[in-house]
Amino acid sequence: MGKVKVINAGEAAAMIESGSTIATGGFVGCTHPEELTAALEKHFLAKGVPSDLTLVYAAGQGDGKTRGLNHFGHDGMLKRVVGGHWNLAPAMGRLALENKIEAYNFPQGVISQLFREIAGGNPGRITHVGLKTFVDPRNDGGKLNEKTTEDLVELIELNGREWLFYKAFPINIGLLRGTSSDSLGNISFENEVISAEALAIATAVKNCGGKVIVQVERMVDDYSRNPKNIQIPGLYVDAVIISKPAGHMQTYGEQFNPNYVRQGDIASLDLPRMKDGPRRYIAKRAFQEICPGAIVNLGIGLPEGIAQIAMEQGKIEDMTLTVESGPIGGIPASGLSFGASTFPQAIIDQPYMFDFYDGGGLDIAFLGMAESDQYGNVNVSKFSGRIAGIGGFMNITQNAEKVIFTGTFTAGGLQIDFKDGKLQIEQEGRFDKFVNNVEHITFSGDYAREKNQTVMYITERAVFRLIDSGLELIEIAPGIDLNRDILDHMAFKPKISDNLKIMSSTIFK
């Protein structure tokens, strides 16, 4: 093996030719090569190249403002994007909404696994994930706008069963990040909270004849590390850059948190208590669905509060929390540190985590719910004037044994109070979430029924479950009027259980 090139970020950006297909690694801000993508943006704005790029990535990478994949959000810089989650890169989402780029949204797990298929020279990824959703070619085929016309996913039949076939394509450039490199380009991840799909991307790019560029914190002596700790072999690496600290934050929320990269006793952690209000009530009711010993996934946002409730009740060690980015055990971080976990038991590569999820490894998963319809479909991916994307939502919800969707019953200004043993609606939300037909089928009620999956929809005032005819109302909060507070704010009438229960008042105290 020869010596690896050590260059600066500007020189790395100059290596990328117009028309290239680029794969970037990372999850929110975890292991995203911020110094590299920022330099690429600077190079484009100064010289107008590289242009007409195809960008492919699995997890959302960005801060919702200017960092991460927002660096690609300029007219002419991109031709096509194939991504798993869009919400954290509004600059790029704007280009899709304005029909200026070809835009695809595929499941995060599928894309992370597709990198391995490309690496192995295979034609693509065959999986059940995405069937009967907007990714299914019988619907939109994952296309997000009119400019996007090429079919990158096909419906096929194999062994008498339907599958989706996501096509492979060559990748020319891999932009990745690690912690340390030696002179041979061997990359280790000592301070990184996840390894994500770095190895899969590097292998895919190398076997496509492309260039792998890795951002690191430091150079270390040759032969100074355990070879089992090398995440990306120098054989795959064409160049490394030494990043400045500002371009190499451990997450977008923290410069460095040692608890993200070491084991520890989660019972010793001091999580903040959730504030009273609808989010707390929903989290407390959702927590009741967890059985001791369960393997759990908590989605970003409201479901994060379930860990806080578990800690309050002294039951955090009764379950194993996982994050699709790779951590197993520990407590998932939130906000701009989402993707990391405090005191993880183990951290595995993201494609392998999705192997575990896709094969049915999750006992229960808690996800957000932007809107749901009469068929039990859920939308979290696309709304009028906004592209959020699916991330790992589709892999998780289609494969967990039990799925719990959580969210307030209405949105936009909802104010509630619990007085005298009754839940009171002080101000109703402006937007009803239970509609006749969701705009985007991110979760398919029909597919869930085919699999006999247990599905629930938990709000602060009502609990539904999925049945053959659609949604069934099974619980309402004390003090809530069935017609005024529930049915009048639904575009359809659900089945009402013959054994309609009142939610326990302990949830609201």
Task: Kindly give the pairing relationship between strand 371-373 and strand 102-105.
Answer: unpaired
Position 485, amino acid: D
Which residue matches tokens 């059985």?
A: 291
The question of whether 324 is a catalytic residue gets the answer: yes
Alpha-carbon distance of 467 to 195, in angstroms, equals 39
Position 183, amino acid: S
Inter-residue contact 289 to 503 (CB < 8 Å): no
Inter-residue contact 393 to 362 (CB < 8 Å): no
> DSSP secondary structure string, 66-125?
SSBGGGG-STTTEEEEEESB-TT-HHHHHHHHTT-SEEEE--HHHHHHHHHHHHTT-SEE
**Half-sphere CA count of 34, side-chain side, radius 13 A:** 23
Inter-residue contact 266 to 343 (CB < 8 Å): yes
The residues near 47 (Cβ < 8 Å, ≥ 6 apart) are none
* CB neighbour class for 501 (10 Å; exposed up to 12, middle 13-18, buried from 19): exposed
Which structure tokens are listed for 2? 């020869």
The residues near 481 (Cβ < 8 Å, ≥ 6 apart) are none
The residues near 211 (Cβ < 8 Å, ≥ 6 apart) are 15, 172, 173, 174, 205, 238, 239
Position 283, amino acid: A
Q: Where are the alpha helices (DSSP H) in 152-291?
A: 198-207, 278-287
Which of 41, 117, 217, 324 is catalytic? The answer is 324
The distance from CA 320 to its chain's CA centroid, rounded to whole angstroms, is 19
Inter-residue contact 29 to 336 (CB < 8 Å): yes
Alpha-carbon distance of 313 to 273, in angstroms, equals 11
The residues near 394 (Cβ < 8 Å, ≥ 6 apart) are 107, 108, 109, 129, 130, 133, 135, 442, 443
Q: How many residues belong to the chain?
A: 509
Residues that are catalytic: 324
